[in-house]
């Protein structure tokens, strides 16, 4: 029998380090005190008290030498900044949208777009809600309707495209309310709240055909479009040999406009934009942006920020970059699976989502199992994660709690920031907490903000 080749061929990051940021180590006793003072909400911790910060991948990216160099080129003119034109050109070239409005971050774009397109009483179907997206849709008078496929709500389903839209659910809404009541379908690529799960090109094409027939727009939350394109390249028949660049362009071509949080895919620390192909909508957006963000050639951003986004967009579309980016998430996920931890499968693009209902079956959802688990992981190792469950889901306009099927703790991986050794420490901490899971108790909420409560709510341990 031929001898098996036992040499492992590892992949590694397509970059090296030129500068490092020192971190502080804390003791368990200190962390127990810090999390109590933070009301058991990891958003209320001070970052100096955090060791490995996996709270979010938003704005936590490490910029490249090219991006820092571009910073110096920032044209800080109030009006007509060259940096704006460079950003516009990058968006047109790599995403293909015609008109763009820069905004301070994604929600600034969501605010403007929702105000323009949504009328009171409208229905906005989408592939799972996102916190700020849905809130702006509601503030504009619309009602969000989830039309993602059922598999997305099942943390055990290994379906490769859990971000897909169920066209039957969309058809039912069109039948019930009429296409005129649906200003657009809100589709996210690599659906954040489903665990970083992609939508397939096939599904997008079917959605495009259906919405064209009914005269309904498709608006693209393109915050993680490049990560979605990576999964299409890896999983969808016919796309294995296509570049991420070309797949991203094709995705965008199937939609009418977009909102973008550049703090994710685009490898910067702040920024976003709205993009649209319809000139009338663009005109209205240009009117609104001056109220909320700033002039239409800076939208709340410094010239240097727009430069860094323009460079970051191109870097994010590199096949090598995405292979390492998603590969690191995959590495952490596989390690957790090897310890028997219940995580959302398939492993997503921007983080690992631990199933808190399966982790802590003795805590019912109204006692915030994911919130309690995130606090416990911080106490164990100083690793900061966040809740994505009943707290994040918030309340319906009628005051009742949304009861999401998924009750998750998100371990989000910033881009180009941590090493494989950090991932080992994280997985080992989660496994150590799993061993003592029976001792973990639920929480009660003692302070609840009116909007986006997960950011600032406070809790106390039960019992
Ligand atoms: C982060 C995010 C947003 C909002 O963007 P901000 O830059 O945080 O305002 C919108 N949609 C998705 C899917 C996101 O992940």
DSSP string, 136-167: HHHHTT-EEEE-B-GGGG-TT---TTTT-B-H
**What's the average model confidence in pLDDT over 415-425?**
97
Q: Which of 362, 368, 356, 381 is closest to 35 using CA atoms?
A: 381
Q: Is pLDDT of 382 > 60?
A: yes
> Is the distance from CB of 393 to CB of 401 less than 8 angstroms?
yes
List the residue whose alpha carbon is closest to atom 5 of ligand 1.
106
Q: Are residues 121 and 44 in the same domain?
A: no
264-294 pLDDT, tens digit per residue, is: 999 999 999 999 999 999 999 999 999 999 9
Assign 3 a pLDDT band (cuts: 50, 70, 90).
Answer: low
Q: Are residues 337 and 309 in the same domain?
A: no
Q: Which residues of 82-111 are buried (b: 16+ CB within 10 A; e: fewer)?
A: ebbebbbebbeebbbbebbbbbbbbbbbbb
**What's the average model confidence in pLDDT over 427-438?**
98
Residue 55 domain-assigned (yes or no): no
Residue 300's contacts (CB-CB under 8 Å, 6 or more residues apart) are 102, 103, 104, 108, 293, 294
pLDDT of residue 177: 98
Q: Which of 248, 271, 258, 255 is closest to 321 using CA atoms?
A: 248
How far does the centroid of ligand 1 lie from the alpha carbon of residue 188, in Å?
10
Residue 15 domain-assigned (yes or no): no
CA distance linking residue 63 with residue 49, whole number of Å: 23
> Is the distance from CB of 193 to CB of 388 less than 8 angstroms?
yes
Q: Are residues 396 and 295 in the same domain?
A: no
Q: Are residues 323 and 457 in the same domain?
A: yes
Assign 69 a pLDDT band (cuts: 50, 70, 90).
Answer: very high
pLDDT of residue 272: 98
pLDDT of residue 10: 81
Residue 133 domain-assigned (yes or no): yes
214-270 pLDDT, tens digit per residue, is: 999 999 999 999 999 999 999 999 999 999 999 999 999 999 999 999 999 999 999
Percent of the chain topping pLDDT 90: 92
Q: Are residues 201 and 250 in the same domain?
A: yes
HSE-CB of 260 using CA atoms within 13 angstroms: 30
Assign 6 a pLDDT band (cuts: 50, 70, 90).
Answer: confident
Residue 152 domain-assigned (yes or no): yes
Question: Is 454 part of the annotated catalytic residue set?
Answer: yes
Q: Which atom of ligand 1 is nearest to the CA of 59?
A: 7
Percent of the chain topping pLDDT 70: 99
Q: Are residues 391 and 372 in the same domain?
A: yes
Q: Of 316, 333, 349, at which residue does a domain stop? A: 316
Q: Are residues 114 and 228 in the same domain?
A: yes
Domain of residue 393 covers 28-50+319-461
pLDDT of residue 11: 81
Choose the residue to mutate in 221, 292, 350 for probing ligand 1, maximizing ligand atoms within 8 Å of C-beta. 221
**What's the average model confidence in pLDDT over 201-222?**
98
Assign 2 a pLDDT band (cuts: 50, 70, 90).
Answer: low
Q: Of 316, 331, 356, at which residue does a domain stop? A: 316
CA distance linking residue 93 with residue 115, whole number of Å: 27
The more confidently predicted of residues 403 and 70 is 70
Q: Are residues 306 and 353 in the same domain?
A: no
Q: Are residues 365 and 248 in the same domain?
A: no
**What's the average model confidence in pLDDT over 73-86?**
98
Question: Is 264 part of the annotated catalytic residue set?
Answer: yes
Q: Is pLDDT of 22 > 80?
A: yes
**Catalytic one of 60, 131, 223, 259:** 131
How many CB atoms neighbour CB 205 within 10 A?
Answer: 12
Q: Which atom of ligand 1 is nearest to the CA of 105?
A: 7
How far does the centroid of ligand 1 lie from the alpha carbon of residue 151, in Å?
23
pLDDT of residue 112: 98
Residue 23 domain-assigned (yes or no): no
**What's the average model confidence in pLDDT over 116-135?**
96
Q: What is the DSSP letter of 53?
A: B
Tokens representing 104?
A: 């301070």
**What's the average model confidence in pLDDT over 96-111?**
98
List pocket residues of ligand 1, CB cut-off 6 Å: 58, 105-107, 130, 132-133, 188, 192, 221, 223, 261, 263-264, 272
Assign 4 a pLDDT band (cuts: 50, 70, 90).
Answer: low
CA distance linking residue 124 with residue 137, whole number of Å: 7
Q: Are residues 207 and 219 in the same domain?
A: yes
How many CB atoms neighbour CB 251 within 10 A?
Answer: 24
Q: What's the Cα-to-Cα distance from 92 to each of 95, 219, 228, rounded to whole Å?
A: 6, 16, 19
Q: Of 316, 345, 380, at which residue does a domain stop? A: 316
Q: What's the Cα-to-Cα distance from 56 to each of 276, 383, 399, 457, rounded to whole Å?
A: 27, 12, 28, 17
The C-alpha R_g of the chain, in whole angstroms, comes to 22
Please state which of the ranges 104-108, 155-159, 372-376, 418-422 shows the lowest mean pLDDT. Answer: 155-159
**Element of type H or E holding 458:** strand 458-461
Q: How many domains does the chain have?
A: 2
Q: Are residues 268 and 214 in the same domain?
A: yes
pLDDT of residue 450: 87
| pLDDT, the chain, mean | 96
pLDDT of residue 7: 83
List the residue whose alpha carbon is closest to atom 4 of ligand 1.
106
Using omega within 30 degrees of 0 as the cis cutoff, is the peptide bond preceding 346 cis?
yes
**Catalytic one of 130, 231, 359, 418:** 130
pLDDT of residue 451: 86
Residue 242 domain-assigned (yes or no): yes
Question: Is 130 part of the annotated catalytic residue set?
Answer: yes
Q: Is pLDDT of 1 > 90?
A: no
Q: Dump the DSSP string for 395-453.
A: B-TTSPBP--S--EEEEE--TT---HHHHHHHHHHHHHHHHTGGG---EEEEE--SSSG
Question: Is 78 part of the annotated catalytic residue set?
Answer: yes
**What's the average model confidence in pLDDT over 328-354?**
97
How far does the centroid of ligand 1 lie from the alpha carbon of residue 306, in Å?
17
**Catalytic one of 263, 264, 304, 415:** 264
Residue 434 domain-assigned (yes or no): yes
Residue 358 domain-assigned (yes or no): yes
Please state which of the ranges 77-81, 151-155, 331-335 shows the lowest mean pLDDT. Answer: 151-155
Give the domain CATH number at 370.
3.90.1150.10
Q: Is pLDDT of 426 > 90?
A: yes
**Catalytic one of 95, 282, 454, 459:** 454
Q: Are residues 258 and 331 in the same domain?
A: no
Choose the residue to mutate in 57, 58, 113 for probing ligand 1, maximizing ligand atoms within 8 Å of C-beta. 58
**What's the average model confidence in pLDDT over 372-383?**
98
Outline where DSSP puts E strands in 208-319.
217-221, 257-261, 272-276
Give the domain CATH number at 212.
3.40.640.10
How far does the centroid of ligand 1 lie from the alpha carbon of residue 191, in Å?
11
């Amino acid at each position: 029998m031929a001898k098996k080749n036992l040499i492992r061929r590892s992949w590694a990051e397509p970059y090296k380090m030129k500068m490092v940021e020192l971190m502080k180590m804390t003791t368990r006793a200190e962390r127990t005190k810090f999390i109590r003072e933070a009301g058991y909400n990891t958003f209320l911790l001070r970052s100096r008290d955090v060791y490995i910060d996996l709270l979010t991948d938003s704005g936590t990216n490490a910029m490249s030498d090219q991006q820092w160099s571009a910073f110096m080129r920032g044209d800080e003119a109030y009006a007509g900044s060259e940096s704006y034109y460079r950003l516009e050109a990058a968006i047109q070239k790599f995403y293909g949208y015609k008109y763009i409005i820069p905004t301070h971050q994604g929600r600034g774009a969501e605010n403007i777009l929702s105000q323009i397109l949504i009328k009171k009483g409208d229905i906005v179907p989408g592939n799972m809600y996102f916190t700020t997206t849905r809130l702006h849709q509601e503030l504009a008078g619309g009602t969000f309707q989830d039309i993602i496929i059922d598999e997305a709500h099942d943390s055990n389903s290994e379906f490769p495209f859990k971000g897909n839209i169920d066209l039957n659910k969309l058809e039912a809404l069109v039948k019930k309310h009429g296409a005129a009541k649906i200003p657009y379908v809100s589709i996210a690529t690599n659906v954040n709240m489903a665990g970083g799960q992609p939508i397939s090109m096939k599904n997008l094409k079917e959605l495009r055909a259906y919405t064209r027939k009914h005269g309904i727009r498709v608006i693209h939350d393109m915050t993680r479009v490049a990560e979605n394109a990576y999964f299409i390249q890896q999983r969808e028949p016919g796309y294995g040999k296509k570049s991420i660049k070309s797949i991203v362009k094709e995705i965008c071509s199937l939609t009418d406009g977009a909102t973008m949080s550049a703090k994710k895919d685009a490898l910067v620390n702040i920024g976003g934009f709205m993009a649209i192909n319809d000139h009338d909508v663009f005109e209205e957006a240009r009117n609104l942006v001056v109220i909320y963000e700033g002039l239409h050639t800076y939208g709340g951003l410094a010239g240097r920020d727009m430069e860094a986004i323009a460079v970051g967009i191109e870097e994010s579309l590199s096949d090598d970059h995405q292979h390492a980016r998603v590969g690191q998430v995959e590495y952490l996920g596989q390690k957790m699976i090897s310890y028997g931890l219940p995580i959302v499968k398939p492993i997503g693009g921007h983080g690992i989502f631990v199933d808190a209902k399966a982790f802590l079956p003795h805590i019912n959802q109204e006692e915030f199992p994911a919130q309690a688990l995130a606090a416990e992981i911080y106490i164990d190792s100083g690793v900061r994660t966040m809740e994505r469950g009943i707290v994040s889901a918030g309340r319906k306009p009628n005051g009742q709690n949304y009861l999401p099927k998924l009750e998750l703790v998100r371990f989000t991986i910033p881009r180009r920031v941590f090493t494989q050794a950090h991932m080992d420490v994280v997985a080992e901490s989660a496994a150590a907490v799993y061993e003592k899971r029976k001792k973990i108790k639920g929480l009660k909420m003692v302070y609840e903000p009116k909007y986006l409560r997960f950011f600032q709510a406070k809790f106390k341990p039960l019992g």
